[in-house]
Amino acid sequence: MDRGGGAWWQHGIFYQIYPRSFQDSNADGVGDIAGIIERLPYLQALGVDAIWLSPIFPSPMADFGYDISDYTGIDPLFGTSEDFDALMSAAHAAGLKVILDLVPNHTSDRHPWFIEARSSRDNPKRDWYLWRDPKPDGSAPNNWLSEFGGSAWTLDDATGQYYYHAFLAQQPDLNWRNPQVREAIHEVMRFWLRKGVDGFRVDVIWHLIKDAEFRDNPPNPFYREGRPPHEKILTQYSTDQPEVHEVVAGMRRVIDEFDDRVLIGEIYLPFERLVAYYGNDLRGAQMPFNFALLSTLWSARSVEKIIADYEAALPKGAWPNWVLGNHDRPRVASRVGAAQARVAAMLLLTLRGTPTLYYGDEIGMHQVAIAPDQVRDPFEKNVPGIGVGRDGCRTPMQWDATPYAGFSAAKPWLPLADDFRHENVVNLDADAQSILHLYKALIQLKKQLPQLQSGDYVPVAAEGDLLLYRRASDGGAATIVLNLGAEPLSIESDAAGLAGEILLSTLMDRNGERIGDRLDLRADEGVIIGAPAGQAE
Q: Which residues are designated catalytic?
A: 203, 257
- Whether residue 396 contacts residue 405, with contact meaning beta carbons closer than 8 Å, is answered with yes
Strands (E) located in 304-391: 321-323, 354-358
**Distance, first Cα to last Cα, the chain:** 15
> Of the candidates 274, 275, 236, 265, which has an alpha carbon nearest to the alpha carbon of residue 104?
265
The DSSP bridge partners found for residue 479 are 470, 529
Q: What is the DSSP string of 476-499?
A: EEEEEEEE-SSS-EEEEHHHHT--
Residue from 18, 66, 192, 407 that binds ligand NOJ (CB under 6 A)?
Answer: 66
| Shortest reach from residue 516's CB to ligand NOJ, in Å | 48
Q: Which is nearer to ligand NOJ, 61 or 438 (CB)?
A: 61
| Shortest reach from residue 500's CB to ligand NOJ, in Å | 41
- 167 lies in the site for ligand NOJ, by CB under 6 A: yes
- 400 lies in the site for ligand NOJ, by CB under 6 A: no
Cα distance between residue 531 and residue 476, in whole Å:
8
| Shortest reach from residue 203's CB to ligand NOJ, in Å | 5
**C-alpha distances in Å from residue 40, one per residue of 51, 58, 530:** 10, 23, 32
Residue from 62, 204, 365, 442 that binds ligand NOJ (CB under 6 A)?
Answer: 204
Q: Which is nearer to ligand NOJ, 387 or 464 (CB)?
A: 387
Binding mask 90-109 for ligand NOJ (x = CB under 6 A): -------------x------
- 63 lies in the site for ligand NOJ, by CB under 6 A: yes
Q: Which is nearer to ligand NOJ, 182 or 207 (CB)?
A: 207
CB atoms within 10 A of CB 369: 13
In sign, the C-alpha dihedral spanning 56, 62, 64, 67 is negative
Q: Determine the residue type at 313.
A: A
| Shortest reach from residue 357's CB to ligand NOJ, in Å | 16
- 198 lies in the site for ligand NOJ, by CB under 6 A: no
- Whether residue 23 contacts residue 407, with contact meaning beta carbons closer than 8 Å, is answered with yes
In sign, the C-alpha dihedral spanning 26, 30, 31, 33 is negative
Quote helix, strand, coil % in the chain, to nearest 5.
30, 15, 50
| Shortest reach from residue 65's CB to ligand NOJ, in Å | 9
- 380 lies in the site for ligand NOJ, by CB under 6 A: no
Q: Find the residue with minimal CB distance to ligand NOJ.
A: 66
Q: Which is nearer to ligand NOJ, 382 or 427 (CB)?
A: 382
Q: Which is nearer to ligand NOJ, 37 or 100 (CB)?
A: 100
In sign, the C-alpha dihedral spanning 252, 254, 258, 261 is negative
Binding mask 237-266 for ligand NOJ (x = CB under 6 A): -----------------------------x
Contact footprint for ligand NOJ (CB under 6 A): 63, 66, 103, 167, 203-204, 266, 327-328
